[in-house]
Amino acid sequence: MPEPTLPLIMGVLNVTPDSFSDGGRWFDPDAAIAHGLELVAQGADLVDVGGESTRPGAALVEPDEEIRRVVPVISELAGRGIRVSVDTMHAATAAAAVEAGADVINDVSAGLADTAMARIAASSGAYYVAMHWRGHLGVVDSHADYDDVAREVRDELFARVEALVEAGVARERLILDPGLGFSKRAPQNWELLGRLDELQSLGFPVLVGASRKRFLGAMLPEGAPVEERDLPTAVISVLAAQAGAWAVRVHDVTATRRALDVLGAWQSGSRG
């Protein structure tokens, strides 16, 4: 997939009752579809539909229930010509989503949570986002010990790339995600963002998903609503664009769209 001048915007659409960011506002299929259309109107290039929360302490969702949540939404959005990704760790959900029209599988576990995922990714021909993952998030994350976080994330993702390619996933359809907030403490997230070039050295497009995450909340006054994290997210989107990110995954599409438009105008002006 060719890299654009500016990153694509992946709009987050949580079809869950327990998301930390929206509290289940889009759990109803009609509400979810309407919000997906709104995200596109605001400037999203693709809509990332997820039916299972990955917040710390969230209950795991069985694939049958996850499919029930996401497939009607994906089918309707894809049927309207909208590019859709499915945010899932389950091979059965990924297969059903691709059949419904999704052309990107966004797997936060990079195939580690479900051993059948690599086979589905390979046979479906979908683009596949492999995120750095060391296990399900707990209340206290016990997997966040690194000697050199950027190097270790790069090397662990490279190992997943090799396993996925061996299972038949086409290299040209792989996208990497450093997994901000997953098994990382706040300083480690910032270090990963500051050293994105090390991950890009593997030669794959990079997706940055910082939106509304806890390490951004730590910069704000205690008790600030989660929406207050959208401005820092938009700033990260611009910095990620300058670092060569392929896409940014965000909740507030409008803020990031405007921020990237400003960057695009700046870049155009600097070229004369």
Only one residue has tokens 């987050």, namely 12
Condensed to tens digits (0 to 9), the pLDDT of residues 258-270 reads 999 999 999 888 7
What span, in angstroms and rounded, lies between the C-alpha atoms of 194 and 204?
A: 17
CA 224 to chain centre: 24
> Is residue 184 annotated as a catalytic residue, yes or no?
no
pTM equals 0.92
Q: Which residues pair with 248 in a beta bridge?
A: 9, 208
Q: Does pLDDT of 201 surpass 80?
A: yes
Condensed to tens digits (0 to 9), the pLDDT of residues 138-197 reads 544 668 899 999 999 999 999 999 999 999 999 999 999 999 999 999 999 999 999 999
Which of these, 184, 221, 267, 237, lies nearest to 10 by C-alpha position?
237
SS3 category, 47: strand
pLDDT of residue 143: 84
pLDDT of residue 260: 97
Selecting among 134, 184, 195, 213, the annotated active-site residue is 213
> Is residue 213 annotated as a catalytic residue, yes or no?
yes
Condensed to tens digits (0 to 9), the pLDDT of residues 101-133 reads 999 999 999 999 999 999 999 999 999 999 999
In sign, the C-alpha dihedral spanning 183, 187, 188, 193 is positive
Condensed to tens digits (0 to 9), the pLDDT of residues 73-93 reads 999 999 999 999 999 999 999
Condensed to tens digits (0 to 9), the pLDDT of residues 133-146 reads 998 765 446 688 99
The pair of three-digit structure tokens given for residue 193, joined into one six-digit string = 């963002």
Selecting among 69, 160, 249, 257, the annotated active-site residue is 249
